[in-house]
Chain A
């Protein structure tokens, strides 16, 4: 049997010609190069002209301001910050606050969204109407209105710190937020944390083990008593061996505010509540559409196998629905992240507020600040999309689609 000679590997130059020039060969390639050069030239002209004009108008330009002292206070920071820090620090503080409210908001929006969608699909008349009513009311009111509603009408109506609602004199609810006792580490903290870590690791590993055993032997295994026992038992043993892991720092009303303790600010609470309930209404519709897209026969098949409605949903319908749900769900996550910039209305120090707001007006370098801010939102959105795509790819792979 004659073996065909392998075609010689294409030369690099020829490859380049084909990739760039297409069918028109070298001529096409030249056109492409000229086009790219023209783009670069226009870009450079825009940049250069902008720089010259800013200099002519004596408007400061460049990114040197990022290392200047900010000199203003920020009410809520996750990372250490003081007035003498630089604008770069302000940027990071704002970024972390934006990420915090986005992540927490996305979590609650997803949970509420799924719950409302399932409620809407429920065979129970009342529950399904409540789900429907929620969606129609919440998604049809402007988000800014809802943020202000939560902030001014709900949280703002709480009593002042001096008349705060307290539980056991250690939890306080007032218009300055919720103040709770804070945990302060003591001698036994290290041992306690190690024990907790082991418990959590095992608690995550155990269901995987149970699943493999189920596939291998067909015997289901009840996991949750083990998990609960481990999560409570191991740290308890560590406590008995190493001593007290931490003590409670109880907040005390001193002067205007509470001293000590940890605090959940009303700005953060209002923004998270508004963003998650609002986005949840959209997510509910996305999830409902996804579940309805799965053929009715799947539900009936589950029922005829003797699975409960919950089991059928969890094991059969939702995994199939996820393929439909994920792309629009990603949209909702991106919307939530971008909508978090409405924080500026209620004084939550997110990126848009402290950086594109205060920093911009103090330095006056609008073009640089807005460019950085746009870049960051773009980056956050792209990373979110990428993570969701990865998840979608995994689901598709596991379903053999």
Chain B
């Protein structure tokens, strides 16, 4: 009944609040002493609790980076696990300050949900996972297949577009949670499970015998994933946006968790601006001068976070591909800190 309480909270917020809600998110977060961050209900690599109950993942690192920038303490985050269909309501109602939950940036979400996407933390695309025993090598061979999907995602609509575009028949079984959808796929109710490719790799790890399943080569959509905030609080929007950009820029500048203190003493004008030894860029955001070193100390730069959570340093072993930096053959790019 989480859903109903969220809607009730949203209705209450809409009905009773007199000033536009959430215009003072930074102050609210500071007063609370805690960042409230919406994450998934357990997606290895992006946001999942480990065996000690600590949340880890690429999306989690974005939350921790924001907390580090605000409090200089990456542990001051309350993680709120949300299903795909509840996530926007939780943000709208003010239950969370930022949603960092592998969420695809689309025009309709940006305009009609009252949210702002603060950048792209992972360039993804939608794919299919099938049992090897089915002997399917391409998504174009899926005519007549039953497809398990999580409801409330862009995946649901992409599947409809793709099958219609290729004149294929399909049957879609939509579940409220990813886990339920994967369970039904594993039990044989569906021939394929569809989701963003990164999620397919993550969910495959949860299966009894991951080696019996393959991810088909076709990527049928663009899924730019990133954190988002409520519309109407530009300062908070800037903080979240530039926290992500700081992680990406840190990688580009070669600043890592290990060498951050050393780099902070550098004489290079670019690094002096970034580390606040010259100018007050951090303060312009409403943070402190040393905001970048706080972030990198807490989570490392974007590349470190990527490798640790989803890349070669993790069980997922996803290649960086599109997510390489722009000057390394990818499209990951952040505006300059100056």
Q: Name the A residues within 8 Å of B218 (CB-CB).
A: none
- Judge if A36 is at the interface, Cβ distance under 8 Å: no
| Nearest CB of chain A from residue B151's CB, rounded to whole Å | 5
- Judge if B144 is at the interface, Cβ distance under 8 Å: yes
Instruction: Say yes or no: B11 contacts A347, CB within 8 Å.
Output: no
Quick one: which of B131-182 are within 8 Å of A by CB?
Answer: 134, 142-146, 148, 151-152, 156-157, 159-161, 163-164, 170-176, 180-181
Q: Name the A residues within 8 Å of B54 (CB-CB).
A: none
Residue in contact with A364 in the complex, picked from B15, B88, B187, CB distance below 8 Å:
B88
Q: Name the A residues within 8 Å of B7 (CB-CB).
A: 366-367, 370
Interface size on A, residues (CB 8 A): 49
Question: Bound state CA distance, A75 and B114, in angstroms?
Answer: 31
**A59-B172 contact, Cβ under 8 Å, with A49-B15, A256-B145, A345-B180:** no
Instruction: Say yes or no: B152 contacts A362, CB within 8 Å.
Output: yes
Choose, from A104-112, A133-141, A191-199, A353-361, the stretch at the interface.
Answer: A353-361
Q: Name the B residues within 8 Å of A360 (CB-CB).
A: 85, 89, 152
The contact string, 1 if C-beta is below 8 Å from chain A, for chain B 286-310, is 0000000000000000000000000
Question: Bound state CA distance, A17 and B89, in angstroms?
Answer: 49
Instruction: Say yes or no: A71 contacts B11, CB within 8 Å.
Output: no
Instruction: Say yes or no: A73 contacts B232, CB within 8 Å.
Output: no
Quick one: which of B13-32 are within 8 Å of A by CB?
Answer: 13-18, 20-22
Q: Name the B residues within 8 Å of A57 (CB-CB).
A: 20-22, 92, 114, 230-232
Question: Bound state CA distance, A54 and B13, in angstroms?
Answer: 9
Quick one: which of B71-101 are within 8 Å of A by CB?
Answer: 84-89, 92
Residue in contact with A59 in the complex, picked from B15, B112, B161, B174, CB distance below 8 Å:
B112
Instruction: Say yes or no: B231 contacts A255, CB within 8 Å.
Output: no
Q: Give the interface size bracket for B toward A.
A: 35 or more
The contact string, 1 if C-beta is below 8 Å from chain A, for chain B 206-236, is 0000000000000000000000001110000
Closest to A45 in B: B15
Q: Name the A residues within 8 Å of B61 (CB-CB).
A: none
| Nearest CB of chain A from residue B239's CB, rounded to whole Å | 18
Question: Bound state CA distance, A363 and B92, in angstroms?
Answer: 13
**A255-B21 contact, Cβ under 8 Å, with A59-B112, A353-B151:** no
Q: Name the B residues within 8 Å of A358 (CB-CB).
A: 85, 151-152, 156, 174
Question: Bound state CA distance, A151 and B15, in angstroms?
Answer: 41
Instruction: Say yes or no: A75 contacts B171, CB within 8 Å.
Output: yes
- Judge if B113 is at the interface, Cβ distance under 8 Å: yes
Question: Bound state CA distance, A266 and B16, in angstroms?
Answer: 45
Q: Name the B residues within 8 Å of A152 (CB-CB).
A: 183-184, 187
Instruction: Say yes or no: B174 contacts A256, CB within 8 Å.
Output: no
Instruction: Say yes or no: A176 contacts B189, CB within 8 Å.
Output: yes
The contact string, 1 if C-beta is below 8 Å from chain B, for chain A 162-174, is 0000000000000
Q: Name the B residues within 8 Å of A176 (CB-CB).
A: 146, 189
Question: Bound state CA distance, A361 and B153, in angstroms?
Answer: 8
Instruction: Say yes or no: B152 contacts A156, CB within 8 Å.
Output: no
Q: Which of B84, B164, B189 has the most CB of A within 10 A?
A: B189
| Nearest CB of chain A from residue B220's CB, rounded to whole Å | 14
The contact string, 1 if C-beta is below 8 Å from chain B, for chain A 49-64, is 1100110111110000
Residue in contact with A366 in the complex, picked from B89, B108, B173, CB distance below 8 Å:
B89
- Judge if A346 is at the interface, Cβ distance under 8 Å: yes
Instruction: Say yes or no: A71 contacts B157, CB within 8 Å.
Output: yes
Closest to B159 in A: A73
Question: Bound state CA distance, A93 and B160, in angstroms?
Answer: 17
Q: Name the A residues within 8 Å of B143 (CB-CB).
A: 255-256
| Nearest CB of chain A from residue B68's CB, rounded to whole Å | 28
Residue in contact with A156 in the complex, picked from B17, B109, B172, B184, CB distance below 8 Å:
B184
- Judge if B188 is at the interface, Cβ distance under 8 Å: yes
Question: Bound state CA distance, A72 and B162, in angstroms?
Answer: 11
> Would you mind naming 23 contact pairs between A and B with Cβ atoms under 8 Å apart?
A53-B21, A54-B114, A58-B114, A60-B113, A71-B160, A83-B161, A156-B188, A160-B188, A175-B189, A254-B144, A257-B145, A344-B176, A345-B180, A346-B184, A347-B174, A347-B180, A357-B176, A358-B151, A360-B152, A364-B89, A367-B11, A367-B14, A370-B4
- Extra 7 A-B pairs, beta carbons < 8 Å, given A57-B231, A361-B86: A49-B15, A50-B11, A156-B187, A256-B134, A256-B191, A357-B151, A361-B87
Give chain B's interface residues, CB within 8 Å of chain A: 3-4, 6-7, 10-11, 13-18, 20-22, 84-89, 92, 108-109, 111-114, 134, 142-146, 148, 151-152, 156-157, 159-161, 163-164, 170-176, 180-181, 183-184, 187-189, 191, 230-232
Give chain A's interface residues, CB within 8 Å of chain B: 46, 49-50, 53-54, 56-60, 71-75, 83, 151-152, 156-157, 160, 175-176, 254-257, 259, 266-267, 344-347, 349, 353-354, 356-358, 360-367, 370
